Amino acid sequence: MIDEVLAALADPMRRRLLDLIAERGACSATVLAADLPVTRQAVVKHLAVLEKAALVAGQRHGREVRYAVRPEALGATARWMDHVASEWDRRLAAIKRIAEES
């Protein structure tokens, strides 16, 4: 899951879409495309990547699908990044300690 989240967030347009959905709440690809320099079809493709990474969830309302942010995947990725950062801090502290003892 973390790999899919990081791959999805690597694209600036997908990050922008995620920000827009977080700001506005659930909305359709048509609404999102109105404020972006890309077509609705491009927005739909980006939303599919975000949905596969579990960053958004689409729910059908009549003829349209409204997408909402799913924060769980971001939370899991943030926890993983915190773990990696703490491991690096631990390793760098050990290197510093060895260097200062020399």
Q: Is there a contact between 69 and 18 (Cβ–Cβ < 8 Å)?
A: yes
Matching CATH number, 2-101, of 1.10.10.10, 2.40.50.180, 1.10.3720.10, 3.40.250.10: 1.10.10.10
How far apart CA 1 and CA 90 sit, in angstroms, is: 26
pLDDT of residue 41: 96
**pLDDT tier for residue 57 given thresholds of 50, 70 and 90:** very high
Average pLDDT over residues 61-69: 95
Structure tokens at 18: 């995620």
Average pLDDT over residues 16-27: 96
In the chain the first and final C-alpha atoms are separated, in Å, by: 43
The yes-or-no verdict on residue 83 having pLDDT over 90 is no
Give 97's contacts (C-beta < 8 A, 6+ positions apart).
Answer: none
How far apart CA 72 and CA 54 sit, in angstroms, is: 8
**pLDDT tier for residue 1 given thresholds of 50, 70 and 90:** confident
